Amino acid sequence: MKLYTYSGETTQEALQIAQKKHGEDALVVKTEEKRKKSLTQSALYEITVAVDDAAESSNASYVATKKNNNASARLEEIAQKELEKRKNIQRTPLLSKSNDEDVSLQLSNAVREISKIANLPDSAPKINHRNTPRPISSHTIDATQTQPKGEMKDLKAIKGEIDKLNDKMKLIQTMLWKEKGPQDLIIPHEFAEIYHLAKNSGIYREHLDKIMQLTLELMPLKMRENSVFIKRYFREVLRKMVYCRPENLETGAKKIIMLVGPTGVGKTTTLAKMAARYSFKMNKKYKVGIVTLDTFRIGAVDQLMFYAKKMKLSIDTVVDPGEFTQAINSLQYCDYILVDTVGSSQHDKQKIELLKSYVNSDPNCTVDVSLVVSATTKYEDLKDIYHTFSILDIDTLILTKLDETRGFGNVFSLVYETKKPLSYFSIGQEVPNDLIVASSEYLTDCLLDGFKKVE
């Protein structure tokens, strides 16, 4: 093992110089930034690489391969050309023996060319013209009859080698990886892609480091060789950390659900979606009543009145805890009573204390409190909102405006931090369709793959 040092104006430039000299087998063991000598000079970077003696001798072949790092595209292009040739042959009514031999020879040459691109041994099979099957005189020739099996195996083998080369190229792109987790936990290069993806989603750094540490401890070593396996395993770890409450509507007990949260998160619209879901969209048509405490916001009562009239539901407006108890008693015939509340800032402690008096107004009634928050809110504010409203003994979380954001790490961190279950996701403004039952699979897929609306 030999050590070499290279410098450049950037670490990437120094790495490229090292790779030109020693190929991808050069292992970066140290990266150092040199201080500026003066205000007019830029900083210099030095990297130290370790090169095995055996790898040194194979440098020439690496450079040849490096010149064409898009071997997969070349493979597809060659394969497509051969496919077009076979299609042209299939359209010909009568094929001669010489034409068939010519196609086989061209395919073998293609295999050799691909082998040179991929820096692989020449695995093209030798053509035995005596054993070459005679073409069938038909307009509908089966492709498997005109395609030598040995050559297809070679193509598949080369395709597998190309995939491995692409994985190695990803590793080269992340050679400057220097992320460290808790207690100086070194995060391997193989996890660079998934780590960047999760980090860019907005997950709180401390939470991401804990999840990554857990993944490294539990993931089998064999799975780390494939980037697809790494992402799949990491996805499963994230899913197990999202808590969701199943929608159980068959308990038979009366349920009072109160929606609380900041102003403008969509509590009234979400309540209308829930009312329509319970009374129209389920297999059983449940009896639903609505109570609103939001008499401060202009148009709030009118909006709910409009929805209640459309769905032919009972609605009561109350202004104090005493009237709230009377309204609940007047809706005894309902299976579900949905309570809309006035939006309040997490800094307005007086309004939140008033909400608590409504929740505790009748000791004979159990109120299920759902905190409604927007997915567009940054994590620090989400945590502040939760801790302020937690005096109401929050039972579930409802996430709204999932269709208005690209990053879902903030809401994931909220669920991870609070350990509170999710009940519903609001994925649009349309009433009643844009409301779905919360699931860990859906939130994790949004976090890693982006938002996709459920039809």
| Residue matched to tokens 């969509």 | 266
pLDDT, residue 422, reads 96
> What pLDDT, on the 0 to 100 scale, is given for residue 144?
45
Structure token pair of residue 325: 């108890």
pLDDT the model gives residue 389: 94
What gap in Å lies between CA 199 and CA 98, rounded to an integer?
60
Helix axes 321-330, 349-359, angle to 10 degrees: 40
pLDDT for residue 167: 64
**What is the predicted pLDDT for the residue at 426?**
95
pLDDT along the chain (455 residues), means of 10: 80 79 73 60 72 59 47 61 63 47 51 50 46 44 51 73 66 47 60 79 86 80 77 86 84 81 92 92 86 72 82 88 90 91 81 90 89 95 94 95 92 93 93 91 90 80
pTM: 0.60
